[in-house]
A and B are shown apart, each in its own frame.
Chain A
């Protein structure tokens, strides 16, 4: 079994949980004897991990004029009508116009070829890059052998649709987050339409939680039988850091880590902290991450006069995050909406018991965690205080959640994904 995978990011170049999950899925599939070719927009050179082959779309040569199968032409028209990611009226005119700007092209003995340069970021040309990525995907799909296409989140959905149209292979779209998770009710319709298009065109939709599956069914009107939940897992630590730091002070360390955006509930965390500090000063709070609300949160802590108990170290990953977790007593994920939330699993892996939002997917797989409704900051404060103060519950949650984590591994979850592939390829 071979899978052609598309995803916007892949470790070590990540901005959040998506890339981490993609690595886990690809690694788990390899362990299940599925060969993975993972296409990112831009390859940095250090992404390859074991059996997984990583390709940068920017390195792929595309023949010009573009191959016109009837099926592909149909898909172009479909995009043109339905998807706002298409910035030009046809691939030909797009290619021509691109040629005059940023696209590298040259003449070869087989005719002209071209390559699209990608930043692979999330900048202002995002929509254009998404469409270039999709055009490249169609070319890649004709250049490789594989059985199934699997794409991660909306940025890669057009790529999946194009690759499927070009190759005739079944398409699996994997929803790690929806626009509703990212933007609340104030959604970007371009993104929503692209997500919905991917789900409609897909042969199977994988949701990272029941919570997300429900959103896909209810808010994207996808038939329930087409959507399957396969929970995320976490990879074991590659190498144990021998010299993890010990805490340089006596206070309890309560940690938040994630994008500092409205959906992650950072303000609730600060309010809960203030409630604790009002009666007990033996706590320190860390808010790791960056995002559009970082400055506002720094100001909020100052306004509540608790800045001296607060630390804002910025976005941490890898060893830096491990170090922070090593000195943490409690990890809190107070998200307003979290399709899965892989980071509490990383905290548990580091031996830190967790408090998680009931509005998260990860709570579906954890029994030994304290669960909160984020706006109830009094309850959050009470849970933080108890978990940091009463050793009975700290010890119990730490030990038992580690057990739960061990039962949740990517190899097992990837087995379920492989079953989806097998079902699709046998009925296709």
Chain B
């Protein structure tokens, strides 16, 4: 018997506007509202909503042993609220059945874990609070962006109180198999809308029929008490690290952008500008770095014509963001209040 955990990832980044260097410092908006809302609308109609309906149908039909785990990024949740509020309702209805569990993630599906534990903690807490507020239950399992995983990340998550951190692949002598599926895969890459319901309806049942257990991550920890927290490094994977950063941080452009972004971290945290902090969060989505990747010529998810365009555009936005951050700190210095003044002053 194999134990199978089924995970659905739901993520949408805030894709950027075409932002010329001539726009730097001129208050031009960062995000392509038209594109983001249109993509979300399409993906919702093709995948999210019909798949949710199929799951609900299964659960209502009495498949109470069905357990599905969702990881919905904070940027996706923000877009739901902004462009498709019915999605929130749809996921909330699933949450209320008790058959669906929500996991914690970095808020903007970021790579912060690789750069700053302080930033990482802030983002995970923000996401956890957001999910709890929307769906009424605090996530207890953590899943890092793209399942990027190492001992340090697992320790950071454990220190924050999560009972488990998910990782890719089979583990525990193949007793547990984690299946990660991008929720928008349903519909988007299939011509026939039926595929959605086919998968949603039959896969869980097929797995159960073959005498496999479909588990919630939390269920795993109950099933295997001896190895209490399943995904701790000594249990899950033989090697120290289990990730491939090449899609996001392989070439000079990706690394330059990544370093330039996180060099701003301390300054941003020293400000008390909410809009700035939201932009800071949105700019960290791993997608922006993925679009700069060259290895994958069929980078069909990129809204840019080339990785060079993606990089140039991002750097222009980041330059503007950096100016705004400096201005914000400057203002704060002029009207000092409290203990942040000194800290902020250090970065001016």
A: which residues have CB within 8 A of B?
A: 275-276, 278-280, 370-371, 378, 381-383, 385-386, 389-393, 395-397, 399
Q: B25 to chain A: closest CB distance in Å?
A: 8
B316 CB within 8 Å of chain A: yes
Q: Does B90 contact A (CB under 8 A)?
A: no
8 more A-B contacts (CB under 8 A) besides A390-B256, A392-B253, A393-B252? A275-B22, A279-B21, A370-B308, A381-B22, A389-B315, A392-B252, A392-B256, A396-B253
Are B22 and A396 interface neighbours, CB within 8 A?
A: no
Interface residue from A275, A280, A378, A390 paired with B312 (Cβ < 8 Å): A390
Please, could you name 25 A-B residue pairs with CB atoms under 8 Å apart, sorted by A?
A279-B22, A371-B306, A378-B20, A382-B20, A382-B21, A382-B312, A386-B21, A386-B312, A386-B316, A389-B21, A390-B311, A391-B252, A391-B256, A392-B252, A392-B253, A392-B254, A392-B255, A392-B256, A392-B257, A392-B311, A393-B253, A393-B311, A393-B315, A395-B252, A397-B308
B188 → A minimal CB distance (Å)? 28
Q: Separation in Å of the A229 CB from the closest CB of chain B? A: 22
Interface string of B301-315 (1 = CB under 8 A from A): 000001010011001
Please tell me which one of the listed residues A276, A278, A386, A397 contacts residue B315 in the complex, with CB atoms under 8 A apart.
A386
* Residue among B20, B21, B24, B256 making CB contact with A393, cutoff 8 Å: B256
Measured CA separation A385–B315 after assembly (Å): 11
Chain B residues, CB < 8 A from A389: 21, 315
Q: How large is the interface on B (under 10, 10 to 19, 20 to 34, 35 or more residues)?
A: 10 to 19
B251 near A: Cβ within 8 Å? yes
C-alpha gap A399/B257 in the complex (Å): 18
Question: Which 10 A-B residue pairs are closest in the complex by CB-CB distance?
Answer: A392-B256, A396-B252, A386-B312, A392-B253, A385-B21, A392-B252, A382-B20, A395-B252, A390-B315, A393-B253
CA of A390 to CA of B253 in the docked complex: distance in angstroms?
Answer: 9
* Chain B, residue nearest A370 (CB): B308
Q: Which of A381, A395, A397, A399 sits near B21, CB closer than 8 Å?
A: A381
Q: Chain B residues with Cβ under 8 A from A275's Cβ? A: 22
Interface of B is mostly: helix
Most buried by B among A275, A390, A395: A390
Whether A393 pairs with B312 at a CB distance below 8 angstroms is: yes
**Quick check: B308 and A393 within 8 Å, CB to CB?**
yes
Bound-state CA distance A397–B315 (Å) is 16
Does B312 contact A383, Cβ atoms closer than 8 Å? yes
Contact of B22 among A382, A392, A397 (CB under 8 A): A382
Instruction: Select from chain B the residue with minimum beta-carbon distance to A378.
Output: B20
Q: Which chain B residues numbered 228 to 260 have a C-beta less than 8 Å away from chain A?
A: 251-257
Alpha-carbon distance A392/B20, docked complex (angstroms): 17
Q: How far is the CB of B1 from chain A (nearest CB, A)?
A: 50
Q: Which residues of A contact B252 (CB under 8 A)?
A: 391-393, 395-396, 399
Write out the residue numbers on chain A whose beta carbons fall within 8 Å of the beta carbon of B21: 276, 279-280, 381-382, 385-386, 389
Q: How far is the CB of A379 from chain B (nearest CB, A)?
A: 8
A373 to B171, CA, bound (A): 52
Chain B 275-314 interface residues, beta-carbon cutoff 8 Å to A: 306, 308, 311-312
* Chain B positions 16 through 53: 1 when the CB is less than 8 Å from some CB of chain A, otherwise 0: 00001110100000000000000000000000000000
Q: How many Å from the CB of B251 to the closest CB on chain A?
A: 6
Give chain A residues whose Cβ lies under 8 Å from the Cβ of B306.
371
Which residues on the B side are within 8 Å of A279 (C-beta)? 21-22, 24
User: Which residues of the other chain, A, contact B315 by a CB distance below 8 angstroms?
Assistant: 386, 389-390, 392-393
Question: Given the complex, which residues of A lie within 8 Å of B24, measured CB to CB?
Answer: 279
> Is there contact, CB below 8 Å, between B256 and A378?
no
Residues of A within 8 A of B256 (CB): 390-393, 395
Q: Which residues of A contact B251 (CB under 8 A)?
A: 392, 396
Chain B residues with CB under 8 Å of A385's CB are 21
Docked Cα-Cα span, A391 to B251, in Å, equals 12
Kindly list chain A residues whose C-beta atoms are within 8 Å of the C-beta of B308.
370, 393, 397
Set of chain B residues within 8 Å of A395, measured between Cβ atoms: 252, 256
CA gap between A181 and B253 in the complex, in Å: 35
* Alpha-carbon gap, A370 to B310, bound state (A): 12
A403 to chain B, nearest CB (A): 12
Q: For window 308-332 of chain B, which residues contact chain A by CB distance below 8 Å?
A: 308, 311-312, 315-316
Chain B contacts for A399, CB-based, 8 A = 252
Most buried by B among A278, A280, A393: A393
